[in-house]
Amino acid sequence: MAIPVESAPDTVAGLKLLLESIEKRETDISLGSSSRRVLTALIESPQRAAVSSISELSDQLGVNASTFSRLAQRLGYSGFSKFQDVFRRELTEGRHFYSDQASRLLVRADNSDTISQLTRLGRQESANIASMIEQVDPQIFEAAVDLLSNAKRVRIHGMRQFNSLALFMAYGLGMLRPDVAPLDSSRQGVADALAQLEENDVLVVASCFPYTPSVIATAEVAAKHGIRIIALTDSASSPLAKVAQHSFYVPNQSLFFSNSMCAFMLLAQGMLSAVAGRLGEVSVSALKYREALIAELNTSL
């Protein structure tokens, strides 16, 4: 019988103590030899447990992928993602995420065949994109498109590599409708940038593990002041998902030494295309006006 969910360990140290209790039969949780071996391996290598997908872990440890889901549930977690969060926290909120990713890349690298590596990367990205599309709830997608189309103001916020996604979305959406911009925190600070927004305006935030603390804090404060949040993130356990009206979960496991952006960019393009369709002639007129301005500027230069 599994222990209650609320009693499931929230640290790797707690998992170690639980494993000792299981082996000494001091708890009513029973695990087979294969599950005990897997749990031991994960505890001994929290970096691998934190950054690898179920399929990668199953290949590395030589067990069926379903073993990890069953193990998580037996230990009292609602699913593998909640179980994996324990190991992610062990990495001090991702302090070693990028070097761990690069280490995995180096182990797999074959310097004599870089094209094969490119092929594997392409296949992984294709799988990420397919999985992302399957996870999109049509009603949530429509609701988000409606907000992006009709809200009085829209700001888009992302840091580090997600800053490029924020700039791309702000540029694309700004081609279609007025009062769209990246949340400009670099010049005046986040507080002043948020002060430009009012209740029912929209803030799109993007981040995934290792989550950028400032992006999380910005989303939390904005939500408290009635600003509607759309989150582009990696899972339902993401701290951004907890404050967002609408969340989209984007797989991003790949050979890349950081978080993969391919599926995120496709989702952004899909949302922008849907907004263009929703606005109809309004978006066409906005694009024509932009084209006219470009022509005038080209003539004058």
Higher pLDDT, 175 or 238: 175
pTM score of the predicted model: 0.67
Q: What is the pLDDT of residues 250-272, one digit of tens each?
A: 988 767 777 789 999 999 999 99
Two domains, one topology: 5-90 and 132-300: no
Residue type, 74: R
Query: CATH top-level class for 132-300?
Result: alpha beta
- Of residues 97 and 198, which shows the higher confidence score? 198
- How many angstroms separate the CA atoms of 25 and 51, rounded? 31
- 134 — phi, psi (to 5°)? -65, -30
Q: What is the CA radius of gyration of the chain?
A: 22
Q: Give the pLDDT confidence score for residue 101 in this predicted structure.
A: 54
Report the pLDDT averaged over residues 42-63. 82
The secondary structure element, H or E, covering residue 84 is helix 80-90
- 203: β partners: 155, 229
Mean pLDDT of the chain: 85
**Is it the case that residue 90 has pLDDT exceeding 90?**
no
Would you say residue 108 has pLDDT above 60?
no
CATH for 5-90? 1.10.10.10
3-state DSSP helix/strand/coil % of the chain, to nearest 5: 60, 10, 30
Alpha carbon distances (Å) from 154 to 27, 47, 107, 176, 272:
52, 37, 43, 12, 13
Domain residue spans in the chain?
A: 5-90, 132-300
- Assign 157 to helix, strand or coil: strand
| Lowest mean pLDDT across 1-5, 175-179, 247-251, 258-262 | 1-5
Q: Which of the pair, 99 or 93, is modelled with greater confidence?
A: 99
Q: How far apart are CA 174 and CA 166, in angstroms?
A: 12
Q: What is the pLDDT of residue 300?
A: 63
- Percent of the chain at pLDDT > 70 equals 87
pLDDT at residue 205 tops 90: yes
Partners of 157 in beta bridges: 205
**E runs forming strands in 159-240:** 180-182, 202-206, 228-233
CB 140, CB 267: distance < 8 Å? no
| 55-79 confidence digits (pLDDT tens) | 888 888 999 989 999 999 999 998 8
